[in-house]
Amino acid sequence: MTNYLKFTPISNVDINILMPIENACHSHPWNEKTFTSCIGNRYFGEKLCDNSNDSPKIIGFYVGELVIDEATLMDICVEPTEQGNGFGKKLLNQFIQQAKAKGALKIWLEVRAKNISAQMMYINAGFIEISRRTGYYPSSSGFGYEDAIVMSFSI
């Protein structure tokens, strides 16, 4: 990792800084209450910061959950102006590394069926499609629902 990029754990004081990224990345984003409930206890997450100048910039973040020996990627976001630069892959790799360090043997995630770029990132990292949840996500257009693809990765 380039030495000006740094991962730091997410805490409650980060919510106000991360919510604009959450809102920009999802058609149906988490609200602040949901986000806050996914910090601490069985949840873990980190933000990726660019510290190359005097005012550090948050590039993205992930939130994971660990239950016994299984981790779930709950959320992963990259600031839209920074997408396409490999930061999603860096966040995913960090999540996998942290899940492994916490004792996870298997990782789970769900991704929108239409989000091909995310699916390719997960496939390239070694995830495989396990199943499909029909009509799981509200559609981004606001009409109807979209399938979720369930993927897993064995550590």
Residue ranges of the binding site: 115
Q: Which amino acid is at 113?
A: A
Contact 149, 36 (CB under 8 A): no
For residue 136, indicate whether it is catalytic.
no
Known binding residues for acetyl-CoA? 115
DSSP 8-state secondary structure symbol assigned to residue 152: E
Q: Which of 65, 79, 122, 137 is catalytic?
A: 122
Q: Which of 22, 46, 110, 146 is catalytic?
A: 110
Q: What span, in angstroms and rounded, lies between the C-alpha atoms of 115 and 132?
A: 14
Tokens of 152: 């897993």
Q: Is 70 one of the annotated active-site residues of the chain?
A: no
Beta strand 70-78 with 106-112: parallel, antiparallel or unpaired?
Answer: parallel
CA–CA separation, 123 and 24 (whole Å): 24
Q: What share of the chain is helix, strand, coil (3-state, %, to 5)?
A: 30, 40, 30
Active centre residues (catalytic): 110, 122
